[in-house]
Amino acid sequence: CSHFCNNFIGGYFCSCPPEYFLHDDMKNCGVNCSGDVFTALIGEIASPNYPKPYPENSRCEYQIRLEKGFQVGLALLLKLECSGASTAHCSLDLLDSIAGDQQFGPYCGRGFPGPLNIETKSNVLDIIFQTDLTGQNKGWKLRYHGDPMPCPKEETPTSVWEPAKAKYVFRDVVRITCLDGFEVVEGRVGATSFHSTCQSNGKWSNSKLKCQPVDCGIPESIENGKVEDPESTLFGSVTRYTCEEPYYYMENGGNVEKRERQYHCASNGSWVNEALSPELPKCVPVCGVPREPFEGKQRIIGGSDADIKNFPWQVFFDNPWAGGALIDEYWVLTAAHATKYPQEKEAEAGGSLELFLGHTAFEALQALANLPTRSASFFPRHRQKAQTNFDNDIALVQLKDPVKMGPTVAPICLPGTSSDYNLMDGDLGLIAGWGRTEKRDRALRLKAARLPVAPLRKCREVPKADAGAYVFTANMICAGGEKGMDSCKGDSGGAFAVQDPNDKAKFYVAGLVSWGPQCGTYGLYTWVQNYVDWIMKTMQENS
């Protein structure tokens, strides 16, 4: 017997001390030390009878079951004293522990060859203590504790974690904020931050969410210009806008010309310029630059044909037969009497006009589609009822659709308001039109001439074709004087174009063909500089 032997006549039987049980062989005693379950986050476990010798021939099983999110840690408090040698294969008494597919042990002999602290990375641990029939030793004692499951600290260059810690564990909550230019995209909704919780499995919730570069999308196109295809549409990417040169330029504040404008993808998801504004650049028609400068000295009355590239701003009015000057993609400047006002009401005078441009030949013009007009605006003090008063003879015709600029179509510039644009006697200007010539009442092809500015008295001194009391005012320019070089009936409303004093490559509309005492002598032109404020105000209010 391993413990108590009880003799009787003819035989004996074995028995065990209290808390022991007799094995099936009816000789050996063992300890009933299995079935204990430990759920507290900290505790101690020891071999039976510790620190007294542990029983032989026993198998003790201890179960540690912690809440998910905690991992079992072990620390040996006292030296291990078991039978057998401290080898990799314990043949006698042994202490072993298993956590899932991990095994820590077996350990035996004296001392403890394993680590003093064991991190199991599991919330479940089974401890097994097995003894054989021989030897009795002091045994062992250990302490276990539940450590919160750690979650990895993910260092990324695109976000900031708050609060910042050296280590994050189960139930820790962090706010992850994207750096400027990055966002969290979930479905179609973008945000700049999100919360994440360290879970029981050691992984972060919302782990699929990442701070990604903001995507500005495809840059918006612009009228009369183009946008460069960017290599990327993400934060920090760059694109460039340009205008269709040489017919358009990029407005850059104060009408300053600029060849291109750079935009970058900003943190708010918009393409912005160097001033951080999302406002798109505007391509404005280049004014006053003919594709081929006018070199001839043709006369409108009985001269040779002009080239439309010399006068790309020239507009033809079919009914009534007259001219005009394109000054903007939506606006034509002309003489008030060249419209149907006052024969028609002012509100209706511009709506029935038929306008053409882009060619010199009358027949070719008529074959082109006319420019639908929206309205006509007249200077407030223009109230021409008598055929002898052409004061304030100026009108603006608004087009329904914008005109596309090109080699044969371009606006003429307006005069500046500075003294540089004050005309002097002898200054040369260009006129063009389809009006009366020496041989015909109406020209079939565009004619042109170069005329000098003359004192107003020169126009007064010309004998009148009739006995009318014509009015001469400071709103009129007198030009002409060379025999036969003059505008005439049918040329009304066309531009008197003068070279810009500040940019010799450009021309501005100094005057509009208005009236004359007699064709082929001197002519009178509406002085446009006096009306620049009214022109700008009218266009802005009706844009």
181: left (phi over 0), alpha (psi -120 to 50) or beta: left
CA 429 to chain centre: 47
Which residues carry a binding-site annotation for Ca(2+)?
7, 11, 93, 132
Separation between Cα atoms, residue 395 and residue 40, nearest integer Å: 96
Q: What angle do CA 16, 18, 23 make, to 5 degrees?
A: 40
- Token digits of residue 382: 């223009």
Active site residue 101: no
- Token digits of residue 95: 């202490």
Active site residue 229: no
Beta bridge partners of 459: none
Separation between Cα atoms, residue 427 and residue 267, nearest integer Å: 56
Instruction: Read off the amino acid at residue 414.
Output: L
421: left (phi over 0), alpha (psi -120 to 50) or beta: alpha
Separation between Cα atoms, residue 143 and residue 89, nearest integer Å: 24
- Token digits of residue 106: 């077996």
CB of 146 within 8 A of CB of 71? yes
- Among candidate residues 328, 393, 486, 500, the one labeled active-site is 393
Mode of pairing for the β-strands spanning 70-76 and 189-191: unpaired
Active site residue 205: no
Beta bridge partners of 325: 314, 333
- Among candidate residues 359, 492, 500, 514, the one labeled active-site is 492
- Among candidate residues 196, 237, 328, 337, the one labeled active-site is 337
Cα dihedral sign for 432, 463, 456, 424? positive
The terminus-to-terminus CA distance of the chain in angstroms comes to 116
CA neighbor of 495 nearest in space, from 255, 300, 303: 300
Strands (E), 308-419: 314-317, 322-326, 331-334, 355-357, 373-378, 395-399
Tell me the three state secondary structure of residue 3.
coil
Output 440-444 pairs: Cβ under 8 A, ≥24 positions apart: 441/489, 441/490, 442/321, 442/362, 442/490, 443/300, 443/362, 443/490, 444/361, 444/362, 444/363
Instruction: Read off the amino acid at residue 189.
Output: V
CB of 249 within 8 A of CB of 284? yes
Cα dist. 376→353, 434, 541 in Å? 9, 22, 13
Residue written as token pair 């291109």: 260
- Token digits of residue 377: 């605006």
- Token digits of residue 194: 């999100």
Q: How many other CB atoms sit within 10 Å of the CB of residue 329? A: 18
Which residues carry a binding-site annotation?
7, 11, 93, 132
Beta bridge partners of 173: 197
- Token digits of residue 516: 């004359």
Instruction: Read off the amino acid at residue 11.
Output: G
Active site (catalytic) residues: 337, 393, 492
